[in-house]
Amino acid sequence: MPLLSVNNIEVIYDDVILVLKGLSLEVSQGQIVAVLGANGAGKTTTLKAISGLLKTEEGEVTDGSIIFDEVRINGLEPEKIVRMGVFQVMEGRRVFEDLTAKENLIAAAHTQRCSRRELEERIEVVYSYFPRLKERESGLAGYLSGGEQQMLVIGRGMMAKPKLMMLDEPSLGLSPLLVSEIFEIIVKLNKELGTTILLVEQNARMALNIAHHGYIMENGKIVLDDTTEKLKNNEDVKRFYLGMTDMGTKRSYRDVKHYKRRKRWLT
């Protein structure tokens, strides 16, 4: 039994806009699973359907089921889902700007019934992964740099000690150096704390390098899924997501026309 299984779900926004059309995916305990896809494919919607946050923006899971830890969670309030051990780190480094870095971490442990001392210990664990946050702990989070803010939102996720952490584009808008730093930490979290990770990314190369299993999404559906080893060698993934041609050289503009035609089999 996988930790999370999403079975054939359909998501509708505002009662009319069909965003996910029968999407299924599975995440096993202890894995890193990556979901790749272009803008508007429905990756973020998938995460929000799992975490229950869809409700806050007029979205609804109208069909299918989401099973976490052998319990059906679609339809539950987001607080309940967090308490069960699912934590979504939202896209775009949404720190609480008017709170200090430390207060951001404390707020994230809201669902945890732990003593003050235990809370401080957990904050220390976060600082051990992100030493830079300790230096900036009493500064307002709004003034942190982009990289530090990304560290802070991941740190917030750690505070809730989730079984499943869902990361929505952690590489967005960061320099290549920071991106690899963040990805190293994601791997470390998975190995050392045993946190299962569902990663949504546009940076396909990075994501496929750290994940065990990958899903490729287009237009609200999964079109391809396999172990990352196999995905990395898949001709289409190479061409459309990793930007390489058969010869390992950059593809020419003429081949772009080819793209649409080739892609049709995927959908």
Partner 1 sequence: MQDFLQLIVTGLVIGSVYALVAMGFALIYKSTSIINFAQGEFVLVGGYVCWWLYTSLHVPIIWAFLLTMVIAVFMGLILERLMLRPMIGEPIISVIMITIALAMVLKSMVTILWGTMIEVFTPPIFSQQAIHLGPVLVSEVYLWTFGFAFLFLGVFAAFFKFTRVGISMRAVADDQQVAQSMGISVKRVFAISWSIGALVSAVGGILVGNINGINIALADFGLKVFPAVILGGLESIAGAIIGGLTIGVLENIMGSYLDIYLGGGVKEIAPFIVLIMILMIKPYGLFGIKEIERV
User: For binding to partner 1 (CB under 8 A), which residues are involved?
Assistant: 51, 53, 56-57, 77-79, 82-83, 87-88, 90, 94, 96-99, 103-104, 106-111, 119, 140, 142-143, 145-146, 156, 160
Please, what is the minimum distance in Å from the beta carbon of residue 53 to partner 1? 6
| Pick 56 or 252: Cβ nearer partner 1 | 56
Question: Residue 27: which residues within 8 A CB-CB, separation 6 or more?
Answer: 2, 3, 4, 5, 33, 164, 196, 198, 213
Please, what is the minimum distance in Å from the beta carbon of residue 85 to partner 1? 10
| Pick 35 or 95: Cβ nearer partner 1 | 95
Beta strands in the chain (DSSP E): 4-13, 17-27, 32-37, 59-68, 71-72, 86-89, 164-168, 196-201, 213-218, 221-227
Note whether 18 and 42 are within 8 A (CB): no
d(CA 52, CA 225): 24
| Pick 103 or 236: Cβ nearer partner 1 | 103
d(CA 208, CA 234): 12
Please, what is the minimum distance in Å from the beta carbon of residue 223 to partner 1? 28
| Pick 153 or 206: Cβ nearer partner 1 | 153
Per-residue tokens: 53? 């946050």
Please, what is the minimum distance in Å from the beta carbon of residue 192 to partner 1? 22
Please, what is the minimum distance in Å from the beta carbon of residue 199 to partner 1? 16
Q: For residue 61, list its beta bridge partners.
A: 11
| Pick 99 or 223: Cβ nearer partner 1 | 99
